[in-house]
Structure 1
């Protein structure tokens, strides 16, 4: 039989069409649909923003939410300034890291040397804060830390530095390493006492030091249970617990000519689940009479700003979804999250979205909430349905791209 060229071409074309349909059809009909395009509409309710706290107009001040390294608010001078007794709080942290003492334990003992006794005489003559010591007597590490933290004793600060690191110079080197490791890069330690104008730090660093002290179990326990006496009934005049009536827990209150009045503290605002612990530092306060006025203004404003608000409101839209075939829907919160404005400001928002192509009304498509805190489901406010066979057949490139992406 004679085979004509046209017949051959027809057979080939038919074969290609049949094979093409055999591949095209299954790909477009069976490949997964493209995932919807998603965008975050908003993170947290803008109305829930924290009211600015009232911080001193003079000096340098900062507050942080406990556990956070980012200040909630700052005021005044942002550059490093002399920090007076804040240096002793830093020393306590550096020493307790190098020479740990468990809560309730005394730690090792140290013997008062000629140099230690000479320091006591020199600081006393200079009218700087000093607690009596005598040559040859012994103190435990805990007792020296009590003298440094509760009594702001300058001679004990030097004694502690020499005992722990061999010399005050060696201590300042160790302190620099510790500060760098904790991200307190705005602080420089030149002595153990903080009397030097070259021992400086930022208010933000100082606020974080306050938080770190109260996060250290042994130091927090020492501060929470002030000693009425030390070795041989030597009294410790507690310099920290001055403003309990304001709801403030004092950590360090000090003064030097270069630094002015400096105060480290914590306070808790709000109640129940909305309560928040705040650590703060007021540096370069002009005098002791101004400090309680500034503290009261801050605490009053902080309590007002701690009022509970709905951070995430049930039914509020936090994401928008659009499918390649035109279907649209919103991701809405499935429940409320109530927090204080202080907690909102410190934590920030977090929206996690799931990848999907179709979904039923009310279907789970992600979560929304506070970073590091509670999350609630995001649900579709309307269904995103399959577009059907017609759309699949008319959009081969989209279907093929989806198939390739699914198999990567």
Structure 2
């Protein structure tokens, strides 16, 4: 059998071929690995937030007596001027009487309530209060009125004999009324208010301006009282045509609440007005005690209310599209995280605002995709949260970039 002789050249060619195959396999492996290994999330940085500015209001208070004013729902807006000690409150007392009686004999809006027969004791109050130079309304023999009608005469005309009659009807005696009023005041934390009788003719019925602002808010929260004090005129059988003693009613948004006049108290007014500010209704409640007369007091009330209303400000927290962070990728692509929607808040006076943005971990993303949120903390207000979205898409850089930038930006955890 002939012997095969192998060429030295073929022996050399075999390891060379194997080496080429190995290199090709390694190259293919690299290309495949580089193409499929996932990227790490894009680096994220948050932007510096410049808070909006607001101003400290200057209110136009009178130079006498005691005054307080506050926008309901804006605790920071409470402002006072003058005396802080309890002062005589005159017929503002009747607001307490209305709320105490309604606590004992509740009414719903639209209900007339039970009928009140005015007996001899109640009718005698006409002469009693007239002798004290108090406001009274006719109360003929045999008169019967509903609880609601009696409230109208008491609150609108400020008729003392009707206030006294309500107290006797609801509690049986003036002493029982006084005890009920004390309990009601205690229950509602009106700690600086003292009520001895239901009309306000007793100068010892006293309160502070801040307590009376709270009383006004309680009055407006009762729909029956709010409706009555906001009524300009009405005709009540037996009592006749009743006109509201508050001459400011209906002017500059004023919707109540109660006048008061007494030598020891001066001219007094517990007032409320509602304004449209920043797309919402805002009610301002205030009181002035110790005026010379109601004509001058009314001018001062209007001036103060305008200064309060003018200090509401709509503060813009963010515009839609405002940048709160940026995502950056190894392939030098960047996309901002922007507010998905505008946000604003109605404030009164100076208000501190801070913002904190939180960005999600993302690698790629479509324009408009949610990528986080920014939370605004507003002094005296509930926080506001706005979603953040991508201002532009972050796309895969493609295979060529992966091949030419070996394993840059690779997610080590995934790898």
Asked if TM exceeds 0.5, the reply is yes
Q: Which residue of 2 aligns with 1:293?
A: 299
Q: How does 1:194-273 map to 2 (within 5 A)?
A: 194-232=200-238, 234-271=240-277, 273=279
Out of 86, 89, 95, the position equivalent to 1:89 is: 95
Q: Residue in 1 aligned with 2:115?
A: 109
What is aligned with 1:364? 372
Is the partner of 1:245 in helix, strand or coil? coil
157, 163, 175: which one aligns with 2:169 = 163
Deviations 1:48-97 (A, max 9, x none): 24513222221111112225666521111122111111110111112112
Instruction: Tell me the CA shift for residue 193 of structure 1.
Output: 0.9
Q: Cα RMSD over matched residues?
A: 3.8
CA contact under 8 A between 2:49 and 2:355: conserved in structure 1?
Answer: no
- The equivalent of 1:154 in structure 2 is 160
> Match of 1:289, SS?
helix
Say if 2:229 and 2:255, in contact at 8 Å, map to a contact too. Answer: no
* Residue 73 of structure 2 corresponds to residue 64 of structure 1: no
In structure 2, do the counterparts of structure 1 residues 41 and 243 end up closer, same or farther at CA, with 3 Å as the change threshold?
Answer: same
Change over 3 Å in CA distance of 1:297–1:244 after alignment to 2: same
Separation (CA, whole Å) in 1 of partners of 2:362 and 2:58:
43
Contact 1:69 1:208 in 2 (8 A): no
Instruction: Pick the aligned partner of 1:377 from 386, 408, 412.
Output: 386
Q: Secondary structure at the match of 1:85?
A: helix
Q: Which has the larger strand fraction? A: 2
Q: 1:149-171, CA deviations, whole angstroms, 9 ceiling, x for partnerless residues?
A: 10111111111111111222222
In structure 2, the residue corresponding to 1:284 is in which secondary structure? strand
Alignment partner, residue 126 of structure 1: 132
Distance in structure 1 (CA, Å) of the matches to 2:79 and 2:265: 21
Deviations 1:251-290 (A, max 9, x none): 1112011111111111123445154211111111222232
Q: Which has the larger radius of gyration?
A: 2
Aligned to 1:26: none
Matching residue of 2:314: 308
Q: Distance in 2 between matches of 1:80 and 1:160?
A: 26
1:65, 1:192 → 2: CA distance?
28
Instruction: Structure 1 unaligned segments of length 5 or more: list them.
Output: 1-39, 320-330, 391-408
Gaps of 5+ in 2: 1-47, 326-336, 364-369, 391-408
Give distance in 1, aligned partners of 2:187 and 2:356. 35
Contact 1:131 1:236 in 2 (8 A): no
Change in CA separation of 1:310 and 1:135 when aligned onto 2, cut-off 3 Å: same
Checking the alignment, whether the CA contact within 8 Å between 1:123 and 1:129 is kept in structure 2 is yes
8 Å CA contact retained: 1:187, 1:205: yes
- Distance in 1 (alpha carbons) for counterparts of 2:176 and 2:239: 32
**Shift in alpha-carbon separation, 1:275–1:217, aligned structure 2, 3 A:** closer
Instruction: Sort the Cα spacing of 1:351 and 1:141 in 2 relative to 1 into closer, same or farther, 3 A.
Output: farther
- Count of residue pairs brought into register by the alignment: 334
- Normalising to structure 1: TM-score of the pair? 0.70
How far the C-alpha of 1:235 sits from its partner, in A, is 2.6
3-state SS of paired residue (1:276): strand
* Per-residue deviation, 1:131: 0.8
